[in-house]
Structure 1
Amino acid sequence: MDFGLTEEQKMVQDMARNFAEKEIAPYVEEDEKNHYYRREILTKMGELGLLGWSIPEEYGGNGMGWMEGVIALYEIAKVHTSWRLSISGNCWGPAMTINEYGTEEQKQKWIPKLLDGTWAGSFAITEPNTGSDVASMKTFAEDKGDHWLINGTKTWISGGHTSDVGLLYAMTDKGKGAKGMSCFIIDYNNTPGVQRIPMEDKVGMYAAPTSELIFEDAVVPKENLLGGLNKGFFICMWQLNNTRMGCAVGGAALSRACLDGCIQYANERYQFGVPIGKHQMVQQQIAEMILEDEAAKQLVYRAAWLKDNKLPSQKATSTAKLAGCLASVHAANLAMKIYGSYGYSNEYPCGRWLRDCKQFETLEGTSNMHMQIIANIELGFAPDR
């Protein structure tokens, strides 16, 4: 595998970097302080084609693949990791899943507006008592003949109360576990019986909206079933193998943000008459960050390469996600040490890095679950899909 960037990929990188520096960077601290989601950024991302990775051009895709998407998202997430969720919420989640499992009518209706930023997207899996054990969910969709009637609660849903359209996973055959789950496309602006509650009291990710969704006799059209009755568990696992790339890239990018900040600070801060970067212990910490950052980024590239070449990528995706998580958490901890007392103030971004890195240990599968996925595939207990 050759990970040297092509001229086109360098152009994508430059475009994404310039966008992040111009449209996101000026508002990071203000939006963090106010817990503010700046919706117009999503629209601008759509206008530039930053939401259309690996989707056919006939539905509004940008004609480029996973590698280009990873390169672009890395530049965006490095500036503010909250905005990595937009690509997962719109492209690698709903749009890609509808493209894979939807009818032609569903593709034409839903995908273009997700990719051009007209609509914000989401997907709802987690429930108050359902996390890693996806098949234990209780949200139930009852077939009422001419529509579905949905009841249940979803929680920790990224973009749940700000999205226009999203995927909802619910049971359609009680008692059958994974074999009784289905996937639905939800038009949140036109679906009665849905209450969407912002979850403001979070440790981090302040500029990324998180929600609780309550479905009380929510009426959903029959044609909004995606991929067939009771096929939801397989669809969910397929989707997670894609959206987890957003976490993998986000972790690697946050690790790099910490590293860049520490390098700058270590050259500016003087102690004992020299920049602190001259001291061996600081150099050791910088070296550790470089090692883990480079490893995480290369693992992300490898997973993207496998996906672009239609090769099994589940193990590679979980490995990249876990590596990004470990790199970002370690880097954020080391940044607090290198910045010293200033790292504990809001004058510098160390606190934000530390708060935001912890998401990667839980979202899109806990670190424990990804270790299990990796080990089971390597041991031959599960196939690599």
Structure 2
Amino acid sequence: MSQLPMVCPSMTNAQLLSIDSMRTFVQREIEPLSSAMRYGAVSRNQLLELTQAVSEFGLPGMIIPKALGGHGGDWVTQGRLFEELAMGSVELAWQVLINIFASTLVLQQPALCERYLPDLIVGRSLFGITLNGSTSALHGRRKGAEWILDGRSDIVAANLHADVLICAVREHSQASSFLLLDRSVDRYEIRHYRDIEGRQQTCMQVTQACLPIERVLGDANADSPLTRHLFDVSKLHEAVVHLARGRSLLDASIARAKANTQFGRPIAAQHMVARQFAELATQLEAARLMCSQGFEQLDNGRLSGDTASRARLMAYETAKRIERRVSRIESHPSQTGWQHSDALLHLLSENIADDAQHIANALIGDLPGASDES
């Protein structure tokens, strides 16, 4: 169980119960499989069993109206459920997040909603997302009421077993669209490869796929509202993953400090150590409240990109601060209690360092000489 009491502003008993239930489920069922998830040693059927189990707690169906088979809940609760899931497996959490993206997109398309939303809500399908890059892209051309797709994407946020892909497709230099590729009717390949530095990457290849015009989901240009929304929601959930990292590190350190003694008493009982733990827990809660502000904005209809960026930066820096402070408290290298991969974190949003620079420029850009120093 978590060592840290968490502030839950304006949450009902039902919401708190759902979060506690998710936490218990993750500890019992997800954490034992986290290593297999991290190394890709989980079969498609095993992964679907997990996504179906998670769906019973409201991921990804929390924000889907009850009339359409969802839970009819809110983004704030969904964000807290996502944090609990990320505590057990970031890899599974990111698959669920992609399914959340997919459910919100197909929800806006009546022609696709009936076909794909029911399976998404109950976790019976695995979605993925591909984006165009400077050296790889999917290209499409319209032919009557169809799109013809060709090409390769090296920016792939998808499991090798993904049933459906939401793909950014370049029509020409000035126009791109998101289209839906369905493995059951379209031929595409997802595979791993090694880059020049020996790191495992994922690519997707498609040849002469014919898609009906109804599979178009929206504008995929970099500055389109849909793309910006995708990036901002991804940043906000990335912030939650950093929260989970900081929480895991701090929980593990507190547990060790309670169990280990120095000068005849538990290390956690020492005034300076206890004070540092309290400060770190407070900073972690402040970062969580920043994330909650972003989820509240989603509930109100629009997430501010500035809020998402600040939440991610704050959560990231808080997790790093916890890691450094814990290392000093324990005075020797130790297991962090956090062994998850962050390989997908950068795929669906801007680099965090660039984002931090944008925040800084917004704060000081109008001062004399600020632009020269940035």
Q: Shorter-chain-normalised TM-score: which range?
A: 0.7 to 0.9
Secondary structure in structure 2 of the residue aligned to 1:53 = helix
Note if contact 1:183-1:231 (Cα within 8 Å) is conserved in structure 2.
Answer: no
Deviation at 1:156, TM superposition (A): 4.6
1:26 aligns with 2:32: yes
Note if contact 2:246-2:284 (Cα within 8 Å) is conserved in structure 1.
Answer: yes
1:45 aligns with 2:44: no
Match of 1:298 in 2: 289
Deviation at 1:246, TM superposition (A): 2.0
Deviation at 1:175, TM superposition (A): 2.4
Q: For 1:272-351, what aligned pairs fall within 5 Å after superposition?
A: 272-278=263-269, 282-283=273-274, 286-287=277-278, 289-338=280-329, 341=332, 343=334, 348-350=335-337
The residue type paired with residue 179 of structure 2 is F
The residue type paired with residue 54 of structure 1 is I
Q: C-alpha deviations, 1:224-256, integer Å up to 9, x for none?
A: 112379799432222222233321211112211
Separation of aligned partners in 2, 1:61 and 1:363: 25
Deviation at 1:314, TM superposition (A): 2.2
| Structure 1 pair 143–258 and aligned structure 2 pair: CA distance change class (3 A) | same
Deviation at 1:20, TM superposition (A): 0.9
Identity value in percent: 21
Partner of residue 95 from structure 2, selected from 82, 86, 93: 86
Partner of residue 221 from structure 1, selected from 212, 228, 250: 212
The residue type paired with residue 198 of structure 1 is H
Separation of aligned partners in 2, 1:197 and 1:261: 36
Separation of aligned partners in 2, 1:145 and 1:363: 32
**Which blocks of at least 5 consecutive residues in structure 2 are unaligned?**
1-7, 367-374
Match of 1:154 in 2: 153
| Structure 1 pair 161–191 and aligned structure 2 pair: CA distance change class (3 A) | same
Match of 1:197 in 2: 191
Match of 2:351 in 1: 366
The residue type paired with residue 99 of structure 1 is L
Separation of aligned partners in 2, 1:43 and 1:153: 30
Secondary structure in structure 2 of the residue aligned to 1:217 = strand
Note if contact 1:182-1:231 (Cα within 8 Å) is conserved in structure 2.
Answer: no
Secondary structure in structure 1 of the residue aligned to 2:154 = strand
Instruction: Give me the CA root mean square deviation.
Output: 3.3
Match of 2:81 in 1: 72
| Structure 1 pair 33–269 and aligned structure 2 pair: CA distance change class (3 A) | farther
Partner of residue 95 from structure 1, selected from 83, 100, 103: 103
Separation of aligned partners in 1, 2:352 and 2:277: 24
Q: What TM-score do you get using the length of structure 2 for normalisation?
A: 0.81
Deviation at 1:301, TM superposition (A): 0.8
Separation of aligned partners in 2, 1:31 and 1:87: 13
1:245 aligns with 2:236: yes
Match of 2:144 in 1: 145
Secondary structure in structure 2 of the residue aligned to 1:364 = coil
Q: What TM-score do you get using the length of structure 1 for normalisation?
A: 0.79
Match of 2:4 in 1: none
| Structure 1 pair 31–106 and aligned structure 2 pair: CA distance change class (3 A) | closer
Separation of aligned partners in 2, 1:13 and 1:23: 15
1:352 aligns with 2:347: no
1:106 aligns with 2:112: yes
Higher mean alpha-carbon deviation, 33-42 vs 61-70, is at: 33-42
Match of 1:134 in 2: none
Separation of aligned partners in 1, 2:193 and 2:351: 20
The residue type paired with residue 112 of structure 1 is P
